[in-house]
Structure formats: structure tokens, C-alpha cells
A and B are shown apart, each in its own frame.
Chain A
Amino acid sequence: MSSRRSRSRPSSGSSRITDDQILDLVSKLQQLLPEIGNRRSDKVSAAKVLQDTCNCIRSLHREVDDLSERLSELLATTDTAQAAIIRNLLTQ
């Protein structure tokens, strides 16, 4: 492990990535993801966490697309005044 640490990028000395940092961030990501319920071992495969992250982002993108489609359909049938009322309600 120490060999990896010493082999951090010599060209840009500004960011030296250590294994601990990566594990830290990976576990932080893991906490955010809703799907992962099992935390049997400390060293959950980082690749799995990355894969779940990608899936999560993709599904969120899909939801945003669906919601914007729905909103654009609703806009066509709604009054402008109503939107202003809703805005006041939501920002209170």
C-alpha cells in the first residue's frame, strides 16, 4: 500500500490521492445511495458503489425527464395566474 501512496502523481503536486481518502469518499457516497442496505464488511467493493452511483444518477435523470414532460403538458392546460399563486404558496 505504501508503494501506491508514494507513486502519487509527480506532475501535479496539488492533489495527492491516498487510499484512505478514496475509501472515505466511497463510504460517503454509499451512505447517500438508497439501495445499499447491507453493510456486512467495512470494505464494500468500491466498484459496486460506483456502479450503484451511476445507476442512481441515471434513474434520477430519467425521472427529471419524465417530470419535465409531465410539467410541460400541464403547463399547456394551466393558467398563468395559477402558477403565480402556487409560487407564493411554495416560497412562504
Chain B
Amino acid sequence: MNPDHHSSLNPSSSLKSRFTKTFLRSLIKINKQRPFPYCPREIFQRCHRVKTAADKSLARAAGSRRVWSRAMLCKIRNRSLRRGCQQRPSVRRIIIGYQTTKKGYCLQKKMSDDQEVGTDQASKLRKLVPGGEAMDLCSLLDEAAHYIKCLNTQVQVMRRIADIHSS
């Protein structure tokens, strides 16, 4: 197992505490903005904001060493930029697209001979893991394992917060 370079003796517990701190802080901020949503549209917006805050805090807590966390932060930033100006996100998208086609082509050639791992399944996994399109198979599996671990932590913490709030 490769330990993180961050000075943390127990990576999983500090990931949890980092995520909790950041997430709670953003929840408080969301609550301050519009305390009482009046119409269903606002309710939906708030729900979306909570989810974005959760994803962002998770990606930040996971650190920038992981491809998926960088890709997720990029996606969130692009989405918020798209609401403002239209120019920067398209440039980023073009660059990522170029990388994808180059690597994707090489990969397809290899994976058509590789009968152990189904191409279908791998491409489905690529769509699920953020930033998965431009990764080779090894890194994809590695990133997917770490991503699942972090998602579990996220679900755990969010469930605990919801339980505490509702009791």
C-alpha cells in the first residue's frame, strides 16, 4: 500500500476529520445565505449546493495527489465559471479532449487484445470515476479503489450529521 506523503499517521481518520470540518463550514455558509427557501426551485438549488459542497470538501480532503480529486475540483470550478463567462471552460475542455483521444486510442488497441478485463466494464468505470477518461487501466483501478474508500467516508459522515440534526 502506498502511504500518502502528507504527514498523517492514520490517513483514513484525518481524511474524515478534514472532510467533516470543511463540509460543516460550507453547510453553515449555505444556511446563512438563504435561511428559508420559499419555492421549490430554491429548495432544489439548495440541495444541489449541499451536494456540490460535499463533493468539493471530499475532493479537498483527499488531497491534490489523486487524479480523481483534481478532476472533480476542475469540474466544479468549470461549472461555476460557466455561470459567469464562457471562455475559459471551453479551452480546458478542448485540452482534456485532446489528451483523451490520444490515450484513448492507444488504450483501445491494447484492450481489444486483453480479454481478461472487459472493455465495456472498464469504459463504464471510466465514466463513473471523475477524470477516469484519460487514465490507463492500472491507474483507473487504483483511483477507483481510493475513490470508493473516500465515498464511504463521505456517506458515513453525512449520515452521522443528518442523524444528529434530526434527533
The chain A residues found within 8 Å of chain B, CB to CB, are 4, 7-9, 11-12, 15, 17, 19, 21-23, 25-26, 28-29, 32-33, 46-47, 50-51, 53-54, 56-58, 60-61, 63-65, 67-76, 78, 80, 82-84, 86-87, 89-91
Question: Number of B residues contacting the other chain (C-beta, 8 Å)?
Answer: 58
Secondary structure at the B interface, as helix, strand, loop or mixed, is helix
With a CB–CB cut-off of 8 A, which chain B residues contact A64?
51, 54-55, 151, 154-155, 158
Tell me if A76 and B155 are in contact (CB < 8 A): no
With a CB–CB cut-off of 8 A, which chain A residues contact B50?
68, 71-72, 75
Tell me if B145 and A32 are in contact (CB < 8 A): yes
Secondary structure at the A interface, as helix, strand, loop or mixed, is helix
CB of B141 within 8 Å of the partner chain: yes
The chain B residues found within 8 Å of chain A, CB to CB, are 17, 20-21, 24-25, 27-28, 30-32, 35-37, 43, 46-47, 49-51, 54-55, 103, 106, 110, 113-114, 116-118, 121-122, 124-125, 128-129, 136-139, 141-142, 144-145, 147-149, 151-152, 154-155, 158-162, 164-166
